[in-house]
Amino acid sequence: MDYDFSFFLAVATLVTGVIWGGYLLVLKSTGAAFDEENEPVLVEYARSFFPVVLIVLVLRSFIAEPFRIPSASMMPTLLIGDFILVNKFTYGIRLPVLNTKIIEMNQPKRGDIVVFRYPKNPAVDYIKRVIGLPGDRVAYYDKKLHINEQPVSQVSLGRYQGVGQGEDMTGNELILEDLTGVEHNILIRNGAASAEGVYVVPKGSYFVMGDNRDNSNDSRYWGTVPEENLVGKAFFIWMSWDWQHKGVGFDRIGTVLK
């Protein structure tokens, strides 16, 4: 069990619900009328906070959860300081805290941007792009992808110009990559060493990589992501803040991720 924010939300919901519900049961058993002005302070706080924490728990656990991008591993798609929303039900409905799936939904598709619990430390959330599906054979050599023996199309778009906290990525090659129908931009730092090899994706797992190929700690280094580690699919930028550039990035707010 991971003692994350969901755990504390669940505990807060349970505690405030028990206090408030228990007080109502006592009133009912004694035949006393509810008197808001004379209710105990603890009960007053529980009555006020219970619906709030319950709504937050339901929304965050089953609908959408906000995340902030802390690193450059998904540039140029996601910049440091982007705030995103993650769809929590796309890949199935899971119980909060226990992470047990109770309703099956869709399976991840190649090209999806996913948030998952890092297999080496499940308390940490990572975000990457799905490259390989179960059973796929993924090869990465000379900064080029091959999936099931087929080369992935790459078209150079010139040199990338970074800004703010991503300025040190200036000069990297900007490339349009086509993951069997899913087009997206990636960054390559020519001359930089990178992990290479052939990887066979096991059943029930996914091979993921960052769009910033030479600045990403991903499946090339630590292996695949088990299905049970998936948190959800990133789909929307609702805020962007880069204190080293222009503060609020109004041009990025409302961006639908692909």
Instruction: Tell me which residues are annotated as active site.
Output: 73, 128
Q: In what order do the strands lie in the sheet with 153-159?
A: 153-159, 173-179, 182-188
Length of the chain: 258
Task: Note every long-range contact of 168-176, with CB atoms under 8 Å and residues 24 or more positions apart, other chains counting.
Answer: 169/72, 169/75, 169/76, 169/212, 169/215, 172/212, 172/214, 174/76
Phi then psi for residue 34, to 5 deg, are -70, 130
For 118-224, where are the E strands, in sequence order? Answer: 125-132, 137-141, 144-147, 150-151, 153-159, 173-179, 182-188, 197-200, 205-209
Contacts of 199-202 spanning 24+ positions with Cβ under 8 A: 199/132, 199/137, 199/138, 199/139, 199/140, 199/224, 200/135, 200/136, 200/137, 200/138, 201/132, 201/133, 201/134, 201/135, 201/136, 201/137, 201/138, 202/134
Contact 129, 186 (CB under 8 A): no
